[in-house]
């Protein structure tokens, strides 16, 4: 082994650079030990400790101390020192920032009016939504499976800040024409919607858009989702109240429409009183036994604007023969559409089994198709835990369509298909084959409510044509579709053969 020690006067590098240089040189071939350092007292101590003999020096000298294998070349090792001393990285000035990791971080420098859309798994949604509220922003919580206590906490806090919490489990919002979540592209206008129901909102949007094709002045400015539980006893309409206040204050809104899944009676009463007190007229479309269906609500809105309702479109009626059995099987991706159909069907057929039943004793277990009239909401929390919403992942519903079709007791299959921003680019491409397969053995009537507009990215006509070609009868109005299914059942099967064989 041989030592090489040299002093470089006037050379300077900071200690961290030199530690790095030393490390780089230590890795060079033939180098046993290396220390490149300014000749300070401390460094001289270190060098002496390593066994180097350092000539007299001042702290402004750079010491290069190398210990080499006997056959190693000093010049090569010194070249390694020089290479390591040259800065390798040109200054790039690149300060590109990593994307924010929390909603709070994203809002740190955000504009004051930014709206936040949260769609992380439900267990983490509240935390992100709180970030938005703390920073003074409105938030839409698409996520479901958020505990109701957290929803109440979010909305109670929002009330102190004048912020709006849309959701949790809010599928749809339309703000100044910008759709969030699943939202249909519609013509702008002077109607404001408040919706405790995502697909109920979409049904109204699409019906009003359709009517507006021929009727002057029909269009929607805002649709504020509030989440399906907002009008429950636990939440007490906290977000609905704020949404009404916003729309009432909006000079560009002439008529407010509230649409909801069946609300808690006392909350509905309070809501009616509050609606009365507003300057802007309010049309209440609250689903429930004996209440109007969504299509009737749309017709009432049109009547308020001085219009007669149009004929709601139907396609593929030629496809539909008589019911092939006694039972109705409704398989929905839209919760409110399912609710609406169930309320209508229960009046005509009696008890309907469901995963979102009208009464507790009608609840379905894990078996989704039972020997009875059945309506399933595939968008319900219990069926979306750990999987995507059926508007994104249709596989679970398609399986159940096949099972219903294989059951000879099935008389009519009632389906929905929802278009709009956020939905599949071509949902009919998944549903049409399932319909074709269902009808391959027997000509089971398949009735579809297709909720969409001609402005939706999927193209309403193309989606409709695909479904019709597969053998479905396609309605724009879910109520009309349901009525048609009930009509087919009542004409073809006697009730005595019905539900319980």
Partner 1 sequence: MSTSAVTVGATTPTVVTCGADMFADAVAGQAVDVERVDWRPPMPGTQDHLAAVATDPRRPEANRRAVQAMLGVTAHLVDVAPASEVLGLEKGQFLHAGPPIEWERTSGPLRGALMGGAALEGLVEDPEDAVALFESGSSVSLEPCHHRSAVGPMAGVVTPSMWMWVLEDRATGKRTYCSLNEGLGKVLRYGAYGPDVLTRLRWMGDVLGPLLQAAVRGTEEASDVTGILTQMLQMGDEAHNRNRAGTLMLLRDLSPAMVGTIEGGGFGSKDVADALRFVGGNDHFFLNLAMPACKLALDAGRDVPGSTMVVAMARNGTDFGIQVSGTGDQWFTGPAQVAEGLFLGDYGPDDANPDIGDSAITETAGIGGFAMATAPAIVRLVGGSVPDALATTQRMHEITLAENPRWSVPVLEFQGTPTGIDVTKVCRTGILPQINTGMAGAVAGVGQVGAGLVTPPAEIFPQALAALAQAVPGRSL
Identify which of residues 82 and 367 has a Cβ nearer to partner 1 in the complex: 82
Minimum distance between the CB of residue 100 and partner 1, rounded to whole angstroms? 5
Identify which of residues 9 and 124 has a Cβ nearer to partner 1 in the complex: 124
Helix axes 395-406, 428-441, angle to 10 degrees: 10
Contact by Cβ (8 Å): 412, 489: yes
- The 8-class DSSP code of residue 69 comes to -
Identify which of residues 150 and 340 has a Cβ nearer to partner 1 in the complex: 150
Minimum distance between the CB of residue 290 and partner 1, rounded to whole angstroms? 33
Minimum distance between the CB of residue 16 and partner 1, rounded to whole angstroms? 5
Identify which of residues 132 and 271 has a Cβ nearer to partner 1 in the complex: 132
Identify which of residues 32 and 402 has a Cβ nearer to partner 1 in the complex: 32
Q: Give Cα separations from 328 to 111, 164, 301 (angstroms).
A: 51, 40, 31
Contact by Cβ (8 Å): 391, 423: yes
Query: Can you tell me the distance from the alpha carbon of 307 to that of 302, in angstroms, rounded to the nearest whole number?
Result: 5
Query: Can you tell me the distance from the alpha carbon of 500 to that of 484, in angstroms, rounded to the nearest whole number?
Result: 23
Minimum distance between the CB of residue 126 and partner 1, rounded to whole angstroms? 5
Minimum distance between the CB of residue 123 and partner 1, rounded to whole angstroms? 4
Identify which of residues 93 and 365 has a Cβ nearer to partner 1 in the complex: 93
Minimum distance between the CB of residue 421 and partner 1, rounded to whole angstroms? 4
Minimum distance between the CB of residue 276 and partner 1, rounded to whole angstroms? 20
* Secondary structure, 3-state, 331-380: EECCHHHHHHHHHHHHHHHCCCEECCCCCHHHECCCCCCCCCCEEEECCC
E-only strand ranges, 146-291: 165-166, 172-175, 178-181, 191-196, 220-225, 255-260, 282-286
Identify which of residues 70 and 176 has a Cβ nearer to partner 1 in the complex: 176
Query: Can you tell me the distance from the alpha carbon of 231 to that of 151, in angstroms, rounded to the nearest whole number?
Result: 12
Helix axes 294-304, 198-212, angle to 10 degrees: 40
Query: Can you tell me the distance from the alpha carbon of 323 to that of 47, in angstroms, rounded to the nearest whole number?
Result: 96
């Amino acid at each position: 082994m041989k030592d090489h020690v040299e002093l470089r006067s006037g050379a300077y590098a900071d200690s961290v650079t030199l530690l790095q240089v030393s490390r780089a040189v230590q890795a060079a071939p033939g180098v046993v030990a290396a220390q490149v350092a300014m000749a300070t007292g401390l460094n001289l101590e270190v060098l002496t400790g390593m066994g180097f003999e350092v000539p007299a020096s001042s702290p402004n000298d750079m010491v290069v101390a190398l210990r080499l294998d006997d056959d190693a070349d000093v010049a090569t090792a010194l070249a390694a020192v020089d290479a390591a001393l040259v800065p390798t990285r040109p200054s790039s000035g690149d300060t590109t920032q990593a994307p924010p990791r929390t909603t709070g971080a994203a809002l740190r420098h955000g504009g004051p009016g930014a709206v936040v859309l949260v769609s992380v798994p439900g267990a983490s949604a509240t935390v992100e939504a709180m970030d938005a509220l703390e920073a003074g922003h409105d938030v839409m919580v698409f996520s479901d499976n958020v505990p109701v206590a957290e929803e109440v906490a979010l909305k109670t806090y929002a009330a102190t800040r004048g912020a709006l919490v849309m959701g949790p489990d809010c599928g749809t919002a339309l703000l100044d024409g910008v759709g969030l979540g699943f939202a249909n592209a519609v013509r702008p206008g002077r109607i404001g919607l408040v919706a405790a129901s995502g697909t109920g909102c979409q049904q109204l949007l699409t019906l009003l858009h359709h009517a507006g094709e021929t009727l002057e002045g029909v269009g929607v400015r805002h649709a504020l989702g509030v989440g399906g539980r907002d009008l429950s006893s636990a939440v007490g309409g906290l977000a609905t109240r704020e949404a009404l206040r916003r729309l009432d204050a909006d000079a560009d809104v002439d008529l407010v429409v509230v649409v909801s899944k069946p609300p808690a009676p006392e909350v509905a009463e309070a809501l009616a009183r509050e609606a009365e007190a507003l300057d802007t007229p309010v049309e209440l479309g609250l689903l429930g036994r004996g209440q109007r269906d969504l299509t009737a609500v749309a017709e009432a809105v049109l009547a308020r604007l001085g219009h007669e309702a149009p004929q709601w479109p139907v396609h593929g009626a030629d496809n539909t023969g008589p019911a092939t059995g006694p039972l109705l099987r409704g398989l929905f991706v839209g919760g409110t559409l399912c609710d609406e159909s169930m309320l209508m069907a229960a009046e005509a057929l009696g008890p309907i089994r469901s995963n979102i039943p009208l009464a507790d004793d009608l609840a379905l277990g894990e078996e989704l198709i039972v020997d009875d009239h059945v309506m399933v909401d595939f968008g319900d929390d219990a069926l979306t835990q750990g999987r995507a919403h059926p508007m994104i992942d249709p596989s679970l519903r398609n399986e159940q369509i096949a099972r219903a079709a294989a059951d000879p007791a099935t008389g009519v299959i009632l389906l929905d298909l929802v278009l709009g921003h956020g939905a599949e680019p071509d949902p009919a491409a998944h549903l049409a084959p399932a319909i074709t397969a269902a009808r391959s053995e027997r000509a089971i009537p398949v009735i579809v409510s297709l909720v969409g507009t001609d402005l939706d990215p999927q193209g309403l006509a193309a989606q409709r044509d695909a479904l019709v070609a597969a053998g479905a009868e396609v309605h724009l109005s879910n109520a009309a579709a349901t009525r048609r299914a009930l009509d087919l059942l009542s004409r073809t099967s006697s009730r005595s053969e019905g539900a319980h064989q």
